[in-house]
A and B are shown apart, each in its own frame.
Chain A
Amino acid sequence: MATGVAGGLTRSRRRFPRGAAVTLVLLLLAVVLVPLFARLDQQLVDLHAASLPPSLRHPFGTDEVGRDVLLRAVYGLRVSVLVGLAAAVVSVTIGTLAGLAAGAAGGTLDRLIMRIVDGFNSVPHLLFGIFIVALFTPSTTAVVVSVALTHWMTAARIVRSEVLTLRARPFVDAAISGGSRRLRIVRRHFLPHLIPHIMLAAVLMIPHAIWHETALSFLGLGLPAHLASLGNMINDGARSLLAGNWWASLFPGLFIFLPTLAISALAQYWRDRSNPRWRSELQL
């Protein structure tokens, strides 16, 4: 990836990933605007127009029941992004609370929480995710819960290790000396310092969550089949792949791939910028 090259240069001089930002903005605009102005219905089944290759009328072609792939991919991206966002928020919230409790309390509670983190980590994510979804009927909530429960550990580890370094800083001693209780120290000193880390973890989690949703849907365990999620589309498209209809799965695939790369590039840029050396400059 491009990071290899950029990482070799000085970290501090990394340039703003303009291509990634443009890609992301275009995709977001598509997600918001296309449904508003579309002349076509994404659910519209038109068997006369089934499996048409890309053309002017259907830029991404049509699927095996004649639905417009571009339109459905845009709807699918919307569903996937929303699911990814929800899963990222839930998992990072769980992780933050666990990491804060472990780092701020220390002792037995810390050991207990880290044991649980190790336990969750020792199970393969996808397998565990599948197990959780299998307990529910396919639904958006089930997918969000499954992704969140398999991904909160990263945030927990990040938050805990940050809290441990914060705890040792003299300004925390000063706060204790000034009469602050533990919860107040968490609220006034720990959380504000953690927010950039938490946001970064959440943003990095979004593409990850999208991939999980896709994988679960591809296996038929994710979102209900009628919802145009990217995973469902690739799953449907894969069936007609042998008939030569490459477009029905390729374009939805790109819709996962491009935003994932774009978000990662932006998040990495942000992480470098919020390096401690830059904090005062950013006035974080």
Chain B
Amino acid sequence: MLRAEGVVVSYGRQRVLGGVGIEVSPGQVTGLAGPSGCGKSTLARVLAMLLKPAAGRLTVDGVDVRRWRHRVPRELRGQVALIFQQPRLAVDPRFTLLDVIAEPLRAAHRSIEHARELAEEMGLTPELLSRRPHEVSDGQLQRACVARSLTLRPRYVICDEMTTMLDASTQAHLVARLEAYRLESGAGVLAITHDDELLIRWTGPSGGSIRHLSEMAPAA
């Protein structure tokens, strides 16, 4: 279980999350909805251990997260993957797509063969893998980001509006790929999106619940 309790985050004086909690169960797709600007991406960053909340608790399979960002032990960091809302910003513009996907493996001094396999499953040809981000479409870039998120075989995958800017067939392909990973590995998925229809379709098969962020905040 990936569990956050009582998470409080403020940017300067603006309180974005006021004591929010959420649970993501292994093997299930949990949905997270909410109006724009309500703090979904902020909560996603907390869950991925990238943003230290002012208060609250985060546990990953019962392990308490006490440190944040690069101070989190690498093993633990690898347990939770985050797919970012805007793929353009989430990749180093100087990297090729192969570098993007292989970086987590290289950082762990492991063979990058797995990166090529994942890329192929995502429908990225070797020719595309040698291109830089500005030479590929948003959809192709997001495919690379999904492949990257799976290289370390995470226990939980957080998809932050992964498909907002993409066409229907790419969206379907990315969701199908993550579903295949979930079924094969038993990982938990947190699907964040505005798109209610997609949310119902995505969470349905695993019987996961849908949460609305505005409902989660306790009356302050």
Interface positions of A (Cβ within 8 A of B):
169-171, 173-182, 184-185, 188-189, 192-193, 279-280, 283-284
For the complex of A and B, the 9 pairs showing the least CB-CB separation, nearest first, are: A178-B104, A170-B89, A280-B134, A180-B107, A179-B74, A170-B90, A171-B92, A179-B107, A173-B50
A contacts with B: majority SS = helix
Minimal Cβ-Cβ distance residue in A for B104: A178
**Is B152 located at the chain interface by the 8 A CB criterion?**
yes
Whether the Cβ atoms of B50 and A176 lie closer than 8 Å is yes
Task: Return B143 CB to nearest CB of chain A, in Å.
Answer: 15
Query: Which single member of A178, A184, A189 contacts B152 (CB below 8 Å)?
Result: A178
* Cβ-closest chain B residue relative to A184: B107
List, in ascending order, chain B residues with CB within 8 A of A185's CB.
Answer: 70
Assess the A174–B82 pair: CB atoms within 8 A.
yes
By the criterion CB–CB under 8 Å, are A174 and B148 in contact?
A: yes
Cα–Cα distance between A184 and B78 once the two chains are bound (Å): 16
Taking CB atoms, residues of chain A closer than 8 Å to B93 are 279-280
A188 touches B77 (CB 8 A): no
Q: Is B220 an interface residue (CB 8 A)?
A: no
A-B pairs with beta carbons under 8 Å apart, 28 shown? A170-B84, A170-B86, A170-B90, A171-B89, A171-B90, A173-B82, A174-B82, A174-B145, A174-B148, A175-B92, A175-B107, A176-B69, A176-B70, A177-B49, A177-B50, A177-B81, A178-B107, A178-B152, A179-B77, A179-B152, A180-B70, A180-B104, A181-B70, A181-B74, A188-B92, A188-B103, A192-B94, A280-B134
Contacts of A189 in B (CB 8 A): 92
12 more A-B residue pairs beyond the given contacts A179-B74, A179-B107, with a C-beta to C-beta distance below 8 A? A170-B84, A171-B91, A174-B90, A174-B91, A175-B107, A176-B50, A176-B70, A178-B103, A179-B108, A188-B103, A189-B92, A192-B94
With an 8 A cutoff between CB atoms, is B57 at the interface?
A: no
Chain B residues engaging chain A, CB cutoff 8 angstroms: 45, 48-50, 69-70, 74, 77-78, 80-82, 84, 86, 89-94, 103-104, 107-108, 132, 134, 145, 148, 151-152
A151 to B152 Cα, complex, angstroms: 45
B42 to chain A, nearest CB (A): 12
For B49, the chain A residues whose CB sits under 8 A away are 177
Contacts of B84 in A (CB 8 A): 170, 173-174
Which residues of chain B are within 8 angstroms of A175 by Cβ–Cβ distance? 92, 103, 107
A192 to B94, CA, bound (A): 8
Which residues on B sit within 8 Å (CB–CB) of A280? 93, 134
Q: Which residues of B contact A169 (CB under 8 A)?
A: 89
Residues of B within 8 A of A181 (CB): 70, 74, 107
